[in-house]
Amino acid sequence: MKQDRFHGRVRDARRPCEWPGCPAPGEFRAPGSNGASFDGPGQYRWFCLDHVREFNAGYDWFEGMSAEEIMAAQNPIHGWDRQTRAFSPTAGIDAAPRWADFKDPLEAISGRARARRPVSRADGKVFTPDERRALEVLGLEIEADRKALRKRYSELVHALHPDRNGGDRSSEKRLQAVVEAYQLLRKAAAFA
């Protein structure tokens, strides 16, 4: 198999070069007016080899960035400065066991494992650990039904929303946690 000399070439392209007045086929893509985002890769322009070289010579990736943003983008660990749960110092665990509360260290470990297991209600419906934490955020018992869930959510939103308490935004984080907990629980199988 013969390797193509130019990486990125799309041979047999049916599209023309987008450089004004160029009749050659557009075999190389270049960034377009819409950049890549969460909606997809964005739009591309297609040029012939000569015009993609000319485009690349004048392309400035840092255009529109401040000096601080340019320095951050050039940092070798750019994008790696956030810790994932597995590599965080706590490894996603809330706190170490209080060893003095246990006679046997294995009791502490099994207690933590029990906290991570799904729990079922009297009617047999099961809550995952995330759903249990969401119930705690809303201040609901495990036996709560859909009506109690809606009522408690409504109470908390009315109490915490800035429009309800004179524009005070000090409860925004709590309100966000309440909304996220409700969104998780309203889709939970236990409330179906």
**Domain span including residue 147:** 118-191
CB atoms within 10 A of CB 19: 18
Q: What angle do CA 35, 37, 41 make, to 5 degrees?
A: 65
Tokens encoding 32 = 């377009």
Is 13 or 187 the better-scoring residue by pLDDT? 187
Half-sphere exposure of 167 (CA within 13 A, CB side): 0
Q: Is residue 113 part of a domain?
A: no
The phi-psi region of residue 57 (left if phi > 0; otherwise alpha if psi is between -120 and 50; otherwise beta) is alpha
* Among 16, 46, 62, residue at a domain's last position: 62
The CATH code of the domain that includes 171 is 1.10.287.110
pLDDT of 152 = 92
Q: What pLDDT digit, counting tens, does each position of 111-146 carry?
A: 777 766 777 787 888 888 888 888 989 999 888 888
Between helices 172-186 and 129-138, what is the axis angle to 10°? 130
The whole-angstrom separation of Cα 16 and Cα 183 is 49
Q: Is residue 133 part of a domain?
A: yes
Is 13 or 179 the better-scoring residue by pLDDT? 179
Tokens encoding 44 = 């591309």
Q: Is residue 9 part of a domain?
A: yes
Q: What pLDDT digit, counting tens, does each position of 7-44 carry?
A: 778 877 688 999 999 999 888 888 877 766 656 667 88
Q: Is residue 124 part of a domain?
A: yes
The whole-angstrom separation of Cα 51 and Cα 57 is 10
Q: Is residue 20 part of a domain?
A: yes
Percent of the chain at pLDDT exceeding 70: 81
Give how far Cα 70 sits from Cα of 38, 58, 82, Å: 22, 18, 18
